[in-house]
Amino acid sequence: MAGIALILRYQWRAFWRRFIRTRHRAQFYLTVLTVLVGAFVTILPERLSRAAQELSAGQTTSMDGVLWTFGVLWLFVLVEDANVSLTTRHLRTFPIDTRRLLFVRILSVFCSPVALLIACGSVFSLWPLLFARQTILGTIAALLLFALALVSAMCASTVLSVAEWRRRLLAPMAVIGIALGAVFLAQGVQGVARLRTVAAGTPPNLVSAVSVAATPLAVIVPFTTLVVMNAVVCLLLFWSFRRSVFGESAKQPTGRSVDRVLWFPGRFGGLVRMEQHYFRKTLDVWPGLLLVLAVSVASLFGPLPPIVHQSIIVIVFLFNINVIMNCFGLNTSAELNRYAILPLRGTQVLLVKNLGLTVIVGAQLALLIPIAIWRSGPFEAGAEVLAATVLLLAHLAWGNLVSVTAPFKMQFYRFASNGAPLTTMVGGTIGSTPGIVVLSLLNSESSVSAAAIAGVLLLSLVVYLVSLHWSGRRFEHRRHIIAERLLLTI
């Protein structure tokens, strides 16, 4: 245990050293901590008080909401994992067995102040169970729930770190998720009712069932289910962790067949293909694609209102906002130097990255246009294309500015979590506002709507061109500074 304690002590020092030395990391954690502390102080006490009253009467609605909230917060480890420096390569260097390595890996998560705050909030959220029929068993079940969420998130993180597992597991899971989402969307209100019925068998509801159970049989079934689920997930974590550390496949990746589809012609074609290949390796771009696929499948069962498709377009850009605002985050310092050797001016470098993002966004939204033509007609399809164009120009204009002024390192197959949340919120607002204005004008009957839409489109284009030119010149002067920031260890 002395060796584990020593490793964790240096891990703690390394984490806080990076926290102090990197401005974007400090902004990220300070903002998240402020939001969480504010929620815990202003919202959580009232919810817990209501949950205590309901549990004393045998009701679980408020407690279900509290447990769901903390279960989701424990999944934050998926985002936090990119900030922990104990990678698989580093873990191999320690002369300790797999169980201790896994123990080190789990405890390393709690170097983060966010993880510590969530742990404290989780313990505080247990006090309403003092008023339940089964206080002790309910408390144990809640702790099992939090452990289940944490271990499940770490299992997912381990799977994402191994290329072979990503290819074998993520595609079937995506197909299942798209099918379920499409069914619920197609059924409308009935789908929501069925979703609530299914939610009754989820772990947070099992914890509530244990806490208010009136008979031993009512306790045994949900409690045993939670124990079995935890045992299975823990075994899966141990197996996947051992395979990822000591048994990674030596099989080389196959050819990039997708690149033949997402092909871009012209002088910058090769660079654009490289950029879109990099962007495809970030998790941020995939939720938007899955959402579009679910809506597209749901449209096969019946026409959806045009506002649904238009809202999906806005949401897809919000999913992409971190990648758009940090287009250099996946590059190394050597790659930035190659741009100067080619040679490429700063404006051309930004243009290549913007074209790569445009290819990705086009692939995400490709299905919406033919479905809009089929279900709503060419006018609605044209409206969606116009809204997507304005949103793309606005987001790229802001993204270029942030990319050269506040870059940060991103990891493949991880969410981009190190950016300043305030910058992300401002970027989402600035980038979405022109598109929302265009959608509002399209749905209005004003006689000046066409002229106003043309004005918004022209203004967005002018702002983008100015942003591209200024950001390109700025990149030429800050290339070495950006390269130094990308060298920071994650």
DSSP characters for 151-210? HHHHHHHHHHT-HHHIIIIIHHHHHHHHHHHHHHHHHTHHHHHHHHHHHTTSHHHHHHHH
Q: Which pair of tokens denotes residue 410?
A: 């991103």
276/230 same-domain check = no
- SS3 string, 243-306, reads HHHHCCCCCCCCCCHHHHHCCCCCCCHHHHHHHHHHHHCCCCHHHHHHHHHHHHHHHCCCCCCH
Of 246, 276, 299, the last residue of a domain is 246
3-state class (DSSP) for residue 443: coil
pLDDT value of position 35: 86
90/206 same-domain check = yes
Asked which of 53-62, 266-275, 276-285, 451-460 is least confident by mean pLDDT, the reply is 266-275
Q: Where are the alpha helices (DSSP H) in 43-97?
A: 44-56, 61-74, 77-80, 88-91
Question: Greater confidence, 395 or 367?
Answer: 395
Asked which of 77-91, 210-224, 228-242 is least confident by mean pLDDT, the reply is 77-91
DSSP assignment letter at 408: -
456/351 same-domain check = yes
pLDDT value of position 460: 92
Between helix 171-187 and helix 285-299 the angle, nearest 10°, is 50
Rounded to an integer, what distance in angstroms lies between the CA atom of residue 245 and that of residue 159? Answer: 12
Tokens 């004393």 sit on residue: 56
pLDDT value of position 300: 74
pLDDT value of position 18: 74
pLDDT value of position 181: 62
Are the CB atoms for 294 and 182 separated by under 8 Å? yes
Question: Greater confidence, 88 or 275?
Answer: 275
pLDDT value of position 247: 59
Rounded to an integer, what distance in angstroms lies between the CA atom of residue 378 and that of residue 120? Answer: 54
Q: Band the pLDDT of 418: cuts 50, 70, 90.
A: low
Rounded to an integer, what distance in angstroms lies between the CA atom of residue 240 and that of residue 246? Answer: 10
pLDDT value of position 255: 46
In a domain, 6, yes or no: yes
What letters, b where the CB count within 10 A reaches 16 and e where it falls short, cover 298-337? bbeeeebebeebbebbbbbbbbbbbbbbbbbbbbeeeebe
In a domain, 82, yes or no: yes
Please state whether 489 falls in left (phi above 0), alpha (psi between -120 and 50) or beta: beta
266/242 same-domain check = no
Rounded to an integer, what distance in angstroms lies between the CA atom of residue 418 and that of residue 109? Answer: 16
Asked which of 115-129, 149-163, 209-223 is least confident by mean pLDDT, the reply is 149-163
Rounded to an integer, what distance in angstroms lies between the CA atom of residue 343 and that of residue 467? Answer: 21
156/195 same-domain check = yes
pLDDT value of position 461: 93
3-state class (DSSP) for residue 67: helix
| Domain with 431 in it | 262-486
In a domain, 377, yes or no: yes
Are the CB atoms for 96 and 247 separated by under 8 Å? no
Of 198, 222, 246, the last residue of a domain is 246
In a domain, 461, yes or no: yes
Asked which of 44-53, 330-339, 415-424, 460-469 is least confident by mean pLDDT, the reply is 415-424
pLDDT value of position 465: 94
pLDDT value of position 246: 66
Neighbour-count burial of 178, counting CB atoms closer than 10 A to its CB (0-12 exposed, 13-18 middle, 19+ buried): buried
DSSP assignment letter at 252: P
Q: Band the pLDDT of 112: cuts 50, 70, 90.
A: confident
Neighbour-count burial of 418, counting CB atoms closer than 10 A to its CB (0-12 exposed, 13-18 middle, 19+ buried): buried
**Domain count for the chain:** 2
Task: Centre a 10 Å sphere on the Cβ of residue 342 and count the other Cβ atoms it contains.
Answer: 10
In a domain, 424, yes or no: yes
pLDDT in tens, 85-107: 555 556 666 677 778 878 888 88
**pLDDT, mean of residues 433-437:** 89
Q: What is the mean pLDDT of the chain?
A: 80
**Predicted confidence (pLDDT) at residue 82 exceeds the cutoff of 70:** no
**Predicted confidence (pLDDT) at residue 489 exceeds the cutoff of 50:** no
295/185 same-domain check = no
Task: Calculate what percentage of the chain has a pLDDT beyond 70.
Answer: 81
**Predicted confidence (pLDDT) at residue 249 exceeds the cutoff of 60:** no
In a domain, 266, yes or no: yes
Asked which of 173-187, 435-449, 462-476 is least confident by mean pLDDT, the reply is 173-187
407/466 same-domain check = yes
| pTM of the model as a whole | 0.69
Rounded to an integer, what distance in angstroms lies between the CA atom of residue 351 and that of residue 209? Answer: 56
Q: Band the pLDDT of 213: cuts 50, 70, 90.
A: confident
234/291 same-domain check = no
In a domain, 255, yes or no: no
231/272 same-domain check = no
In a domain, 70, yes or no: yes
230/305 same-domain check = no
**pLDDT, mean of residues 155-170:** 69
Of 125, 124, 91, nearest to 108 (Cα)?
Answer: 91
- Looking at residue 106, its amino acid is I
**pLDDT, mean of residues 160-184:** 66
**Predicted confidence (pLDDT) at residue 338 exceeds the cutoff of 90:** no
Tokens 């506040």 sit on residue: 406
Of 246, 272, 296, the last residue of a domain is 246
3-state class (DSSP) for residue 78: helix
Asked which of 260-269, 435-444, 476-485 is least confident by mean pLDDT, the reply is 260-269
73/121 same-domain check = yes
Cα 29–Cα 394–Cα 338 angle in degrees, nearest 5: 75
pLDDT value of position 172: 72
295/330 same-domain check = yes
